[in-house]
Structure 1
Amino acid sequence: MTTIVGLRAYSAKSNILPEQTLGRGLRRMYGGVGEEIEAEEYVSVVGTDAFMEFVESIEAEGITLERRAMGDRTPPKTPLIIEVERDNPDKDLEALDIEVPVLTRRWGRAYGNLAEIDPAAILAGTEPLSYRRFSPEEQREIVFRDIATCEIIHTTTLGGVGAIDYRNLIGHFAHELMKALRLVSGYDVLYGQLKAFVRDKLFGETIDLESPDTPRNLSEPAVARTLCETFRKAVNASTVREAGTVAIDSVIHLRQTRPFVVKEQGYLAPKKSVFNRIIGDSAFELKFAAFLENCPDVTAYARNYLAVGFRLDYVNAHGDITNYYPDFLVKLTDGRVVIVETKGREELDLPHKMERLRQWCEDVNRAQSAVRYGLVYVDEPEFGKYRPKTFGELMKGTRRWEG
């Protein structure tokens, strides 16, 4: 939860200050480029009449605002605690527990290959950018942008004579690339590659890096976007590598999950789960949990909460290594454990996630034989159309990615 408190006068007609105030608060707190944590994030906004008038004006752009009462007579919004029900005599935690093996990582980066990136090949199929000339006044305004989203991070207007050093901009791009791709080393190599690329290839000619026009050109949105797209692909192509083999590193037991707090929301009080509450990121997930609760062939189930710690490393549609958190863990009466992914609508990375989940099931079944692990993808429209009564019927009716 992010809270924005606007207390200034906000009297200027340009609205630059309230735009910056609101914009900073709307940045995501969790995740990043390629991050698969699907956590809902909320922004609470309070402030002066002038500030709130500006905030409410964005509804004209299609933004929907939710208004909540405040004051002494307003009932409190209390968070929910999700925990293992150790004191519930009606629950056999040993029977309801689900074991999930944790495998060693399948994907990693070969950082030594960063030096093999060929700047000449990066722009293949891409038109070089134009190197523009700027007035002395324009040269003094330098914009630092997020290299992945092109959002403005910081704007510097130099008050004195001269321009900012180009090294600061290239260093900024190198740091942003490392953050976006989660690189833990290789800054010096990446900086050198970026410098050579900007000097010799980016603008279709060899430019003078020391020219006062260079930093201003590097702050243009098209430059940030091109550097992000081209170097992101080049770094991934050179460094992302698949491990030849994987092994069981440890085992997750659901009943060992520590308590955690979530915002107040709708939930299901389950009988077939070690947890006291089942919450969902959507109404469909709660509906599916109710289905599992009533399935005669389901012994136990649980939402795969972040606190559980079960995640799979995979390569997404952009070529980045990131994490995937499946939705449900289900233990059947025949002893099998099925990993379930539910979706109301398809997304770009869905095929990559499901292929990785299939691979994980094959790996874990090869590494041990005590429990058979499988997967199923549940599509909301199909689920609503066929309305299965048992988990077995659900798996028989699944058209894709069942196993």
Structure 2
Amino acid sequence: MLIPSAGSYYDEFNLCPSEALRQKLNQAEVLIENWHTLMPATEPKRSVVKKGAETDEAFTRRVLGKLAAFKDIVVINDEAHHAYRKPAEVKISKKQAEEAGIDLDEATRWIEGLDRLHKTRRIQRCFDLSATPFAPTGKASTDTALFDWIVSDFGLNDAIEAGLVKTPRVVVRDDAMPDAKTLRSKLYHIYRDPAVAEDLNRKAEPHEALPKLVKDAYTILGADWRATAKQWADSKHHSPPVMLTVCNRTETAARIEQFFNQGDCHWPELQAPGKTLRVDSRVMEKAEVGETAGADKGYEARLEQVIDEAAIPETRKEQLRGMKKEELLREIVDNVGKRGGAGQNLQKVISVAMLSEGWDAKNVTHIMGLRAFTSQLLCEQVIGRGLRRVGYDKDDDGLFLPEYVNVFGVPLSIYEPGEGGEAPPPPKPSTQIDVVPDRASLELRWPNVLRIESVVKPELTVDWAKVEPLMLDPVATVISAEIAPALGGAADMSKVTAIDLSLLPEEFRVQRLTFVAARKAFAELKTNFQGNEEYLVFQLIRLVETFLRSDKIDIPSLFHSDAVRRRILIALNIDLIVRHVLRFVTEQNTTALTPVFDEENPIGSTGQMRAWYTTKPNMPTGKSHISHVVGDSAWEQYAANVFESRDDVIAYAKNDHLGFQIHYLWQGSRRRYIPDFIVRLANGKTLALEIKGTDSEQNKAKREALDEWVQAVNSSGGFGEWSWDVAFNLNQIHDIVARYGK
């Protein structure tokens, strides 16, 4: 704003009451610096000359540059919640501060640097600008941590009401089953869904499918993005609208990028690698401080693809191609949606951490939140990335025309309980659960398997008479959602807008669904298929088409059984359908089940368990490498007693904190199944035993995955002979052990 250049808000909004005052602004000597500049200088490690610590005067000259010749300077701290003195009485950990978006080291260095400048040149005035003017305390209430020097408060709600920013619209309801605890739409806080949180909060390869709820959310939000993009294109806007995703970890960001770029996204318009930017947080951090990140040819190629497809002059492209990847990423990020900029044509931005507070992309119209949101502040910070208006046109009454940003997965209204009340009760006595070193002979080992691959012969056939019906439950699939403006934590239900996929029948044609399903099935089988790949594709198209047109798809709702809604349900459950069909490829077409091991930790064992504590009932062990069995139920305690008493049991362990898990697919999401016990029998066999009081469809899916796991591990060799079973009542436990112990 202060530097006299094109795009100054002083000129754009005519903020100066007179031209004379405007010209005085041009006389100001302005220096803009990143807070990293205030860090003390460090000597080169290999320097022969040792100069010692940087003096205050040297620090001042380095930081201020040409302004070092002046005194009585004025400092404007933007995002000033990063520059404060932490009161001694405030006890907060670095982790708690980071959750609130504060770096304690940064805050300390920033204010210490200003102290040194004041010591040598005098700071006449210091103006702090912040949307969140308080220091983190680790408590739910922030009132006690508000900065004492606040003189003007114009909050987010004020800005929304005044029309200075866009109005965020959040999901208020949809046509699927709501969250059981909050009774809200699952699209309101997507990461709150256990299946989503479990799936996204793990190391995963980019090609692994996203959870079904996430894909459904992208399909619905993408439909609204397409409509917005068409409106903008018809209006000859120089840039498309941007969909911003803020996710929890780098692996998730890579999966989302793959989801869009490799064609898993339902909307072809969003399948544009050259218009998709995944912000690598490591590269961005290096860019902030002017350092160089490690080599990553793949990421550099994707940045270059963004430049290649940008609608900018070729001479400018050549300049950008000559930049380091850190500089290039910074250039693209800073120019999202800006005419003639490197990021002018971007449609999607995927970020792990939030983009910097100063990020001023104006064309963000859709936001997808795929991370935990633990505070209202965090929600506002994420949504704030999309609140800058595109334009400031006024209606006949002189009011700004409304602009909106549609938000999925960011729960803008969060109840924060106040302080006070009765003191919490004292903690319950706990027991330490540990590995017993003297029982090394009782150690149990198992392979850590990431997935099971099937080696398929060239000829694929299905006995359709044996194919079980597949139920597609409409209440588990979102087809339409309603969004409403959110203001002050409450949604304005009088201004509800619907996004309904059933209004787009041409986008869900059977032929397209057939090819999408066949492509996914091909990706599953192509690696180990021994025949011609073109013939494999032909067979898969035939099998998928037969299934989709059969009566094997059960939709328990007449309303959702009409042609359009049926096709939409199929599209949103396409991964489930593919897995279901592949289950019934005839036996002769599968030569072997091959385990793919975790390269970082291929073998797990009871000896690797770290000590932990519990207040649950527990029992000391005699035949286990682990000191105690912690029973989640009386059934499990009974099973442990059986193992301790039987001579044909050599060793056992309750699978608690051990890391032994089986991956399986349920409702389109990759889930983890943890069998209850691992038992080593006297005959050398190892038994994975599950204790279940009741059965369900999900439990059947777990058993199928466990059966595949056992077959694959046994065929692979090297881990002895494994078996598995399930006890549905207590009387079966003795019988199961006896049967496998023969």
TM-score, scaled relative to structure 2: 0.29
Q: Which has the larger radius of gyration?
A: 2
